[in-house]
Structure 1
């Protein structure tokens, strides 16, 4: 539960400054919902659908990947790379780190991609995430929730050093290197050294899963503000990127949170639309690909460009206008803003 009278600040202090692009995209796993490996055509369908979603507040032309390795292989570059090059989709690369004391296969796949695609590949890379929720998995709450095998801060830091060494003197030299984890992992002081080691912090924010915080859809904004600002506070001066957030359209209830298409739409309007174009966001998710998740987050069925709910943002949200998907050529909006717009709200939460 929140402590009595916690002061919450609206999470808009991490906005991008003038002339910076705010990346807008979805997460994409290496396999389909039946656990078979995605092929290049599968990734291409995803990326093209994301760029042409009806009513979308801007073009979703970025993807967050969890691994560099093609599913079912040892160290072959993931076919998402070719699909991204062919569709001009920017990438937040991911290296899978949990359950291993080496990331050699991940680095081999990355190096092979650099050799094959060169600068056109590098130009699409917005950053490199070394791991995903590894610190959460070994935390008390992660263990309690059977989150799986994790990796400790010392190992993550060592892997970050390995990545920096591997990309030195390549086309990826100078790309920001970070780590993605839960807000609770970032606010845990035992992980401060990881914050010091990265160029950016990726955070996964799900009010839906915060069952100890009155996690109704009506309270989602309050909960989001709280956990986002926890991450911002822990990050200090390090940039914070929102690498996952969303509300499930179907599945079991979690605490007081109820999955539904209507609630997913409400979450999109109240949370997403206040972030799109202002800070980097990779939404969860365009389509479901993790069979272990009983909650389903996909905003579209069968990669239809007509989503399950209207993506057009409320006029007072400040989000970009809907894109015209009927045009022959979809123009990618710049999504740049002339100044930081800071909106702070003071909320007292009474237990």
Structure 2
């Protein structure tokens, strides 16, 4: 990519990151495994915008693919639903386990041709890949996280996207990559950081076994992960692309799922650190992965009355008294513990259904000792190990 184009895109990314989007990460299938269609997305987006007691309007959505389930290159029907509900979109291109992203690009171009500026005006960013670097890391391989992609492959895909859309209505949309915090301090991944305009973080303290992953310590773990990532990516804007605490499921070390704990996490991480401060995509509004042992959904049957009170408390917790930004923590499967079930494995993130099948999003673990010179949270951190992985079929 030409340097002039990169500078312009980076400047735009900084401007965009100043707006704190509120939304949910949403998969392309329902809890029974069937493919979501336009009506399903519309119901989901409408419910998100009307949540009772929410600390703002959740009118953004993060997607993992541009391809409609059951097809190879048809645009995902979430595009039409977003237009109908005026929902802004963080688009995603699935990159793991493939040598080309051409089907994704074809689907996105088809959507842009069909909807034009109605779609383009709602796109706030696009992620080239999701947890691919983690899956291909030593830890990801050990944890059987699935097929990922090396940094040079991701950079190549980023260049492919920029070349394909540099004269379209999406030419000024900031380009990012989503992964687990601990892949970014790895020098071998610096090329990916340099190639994008923003970084997306997936963080789940619940899965951080061996790290004191009680609900009381969750906010501290979250901030530590953010600081480690921030120190690694420098001035790149950080978006929180996945985080949450399950209301039911397995106990991971000291991480206990419950409605009360999900509410505490919402308050101490969401309210105190994320909402209306940085672009945030919570996981998740409604259950869409039958294979998971844990359920993170904040609502049943898309009711606008959540399973716990969404109103933020008037005072901040001692764990997160800073007015700063946020982070995302990762999770790992295997020795450090994992939330994976069923198929592919792990990841702070998710595993998603793409055009040809299922890809897994995983998270990583590793040890990092770094002083947060550039973190918004201004915290120094110690060694962080054993991040737990999370996988969900989207």
The Cα of 1:103 is off from its aligned counterpart by: 0.6
The Cα of 1:189 is off from its aligned counterpart by: 1.9
Structure 1 range deviating more: 26-35 or 63-72: 26-35
- State the secondary structure of the residue aligned to 1:243: strand
The Cα of 1:225 is off from its aligned counterpart by: 1.0
Task: Note if 1:281 corresponds to 2:276.
Answer: no
The Cα of 1:290 is off from its aligned counterpart by: 2.1
Superposed CA offset, 1:302-324 (max 9, x none): 111110100000112499xxxxx
1:197 corresponding residue in structure 2: 195
The Cα of 1:292 is off from its aligned counterpart by: 2.9
Are the counterparts in 1 of residues 223 and 377 from structure 2 also a CA contact under 8 Å? Answer: no
Kindly tell me: are residues 350 and 122 of structure 1, through their superposed partners in 2, closer, same or farther at Cα, counting changes over 3 Å?
Answer: closer
Superposed CA offset, 1:6-54 (max 9, x none): xxxxxxxxxx989932100000101111211001000001000000001
The Cα of 1:144 is off from its aligned counterpart by: 2.7
Task: Note if 1:290 corresponds to 2:297.
Answer: no
Kindly tell me: are residues 177 and 36 of structure 1, through their superposed partners in 2, closer, same or farther at Cα, counting changes over 3 Å?
Answer: same
Superposed CA offset, 1:82-132 (max 9, x none): 000000000000001111101111000000011111112111000010011
- Normalising by structure 1, we get a TM-score of 0.85
Distance 1:132 1:190 in 2: 17
Structure 2, unpaired ranges of 5+: 1-13, 324-375, 386-394
2:311 corresponding residue in structure 1: 312
Task: Note if 1:172 corresponds to 2:185.
Answer: no
Kindly tell me: are residues 61 and 269 of structure 1, through their superposed partners in 2, closer, same or farther at Cα, counting changes over 3 Å?
Answer: same
Are the counterparts in 1 of residues 97 and 147 from structure 2 also a CA contact under 8 Å? Answer: yes
Out of 51, 67, 79, the position equivalent to 1:81 is 79
Task: Note if 1:35 corresponds to 2:22.
Answer: no
Higher relative contact order structure (alpha carbons within 8 Å, sequence separation ≥ 6):
1
For residues 118-137 of structure 1, what are the structure 2 equivalents within 5 Å? 118-137=116-135
Structure 1, unpaired ranges of 5+: 1-15, 320-341
1:216 corresponding residue in structure 2: 214
Distance 2:243 2:151 in 1: 23
The Cα of 1:146 is off from its aligned counterpart by: 2.2
Q: What is the number of equivalent residue pairs in this alignment?
A: 314
Out of 150, 153, 159, the position equivalent to 1:152 is 150
The Cα of 1:348 is off from its aligned counterpart by: 8.2
Kindly tell me: are residues 122 and 290 of structure 1, through their superposed partners in 2, closer, same or farther at Cα, counting changes over 3 Å?
Answer: same
- Normalising by structure 2, we get a TM-score of 0.76
The Cα of 1:345 is off from its aligned counterpart by: 6.0
2:159 corresponding residue in structure 1: 161
- State the secondary structure of the residue aligned to 1:58: coil
2:298 corresponding residue in structure 1: 299
For residues 107-122 of structure 1, what are the structure 2 equivalents within 5 Å? 107-122=105-120
The Cα of 1:190 is off from its aligned counterpart by: 1.5
For residues 62-77 of structure 1, what are the structure 2 equivalents within 5 Å? 62-77=60-75
2:258 corresponding residue in structure 1: 260
Distance 1:348 1:186 in 2: 16
- State the secondary structure of the residue aligned to 1:316: coil
Distance 2:64 2:27 in 1: 6
Task: Note if 1:225 corresponds to 2:223.
Answer: yes
Kindly tell me: are residues 110 and 349 of structure 1, through their superposed partners in 2, closer, same or farther at Cα, counting changes over 3 Å?
Answer: closer
Distance 2:202 2:384 in 1: 25
1:327 corresponding residue in structure 2: none
Are the counterparts in 1 of residues 27 and 64 from structure 2 also a CA contact under 8 Å? Answer: yes
- State the secondary structure of the residue aligned to 2:315: helix
Kindly tell me: are residues 349 and 89 of structure 1, through their superposed partners in 2, closer, same or farther at Cα, counting changes over 3 Å?
Answer: same
Kindly tell me: are residues 129 and 19 of structure 1, through their superposed partners in 2, closer, same or farther at Cα, counting changes over 3 Å?
Answer: closer
1:332 corresponding residue in structure 2: none
Superposed CA offset, 1:217-256 (max 9, x none): 1110111111111111111111110000111111111121
- State the secondary structure of the residue aligned to 1:271: helix
Are the counterparts in 1 of residues 21 and 278 from structure 2 also a CA contact under 8 Å? Answer: yes
Distance 1:72 1:287 in 2: 21
- State the secondary structure of the residue aligned to 1:162: helix
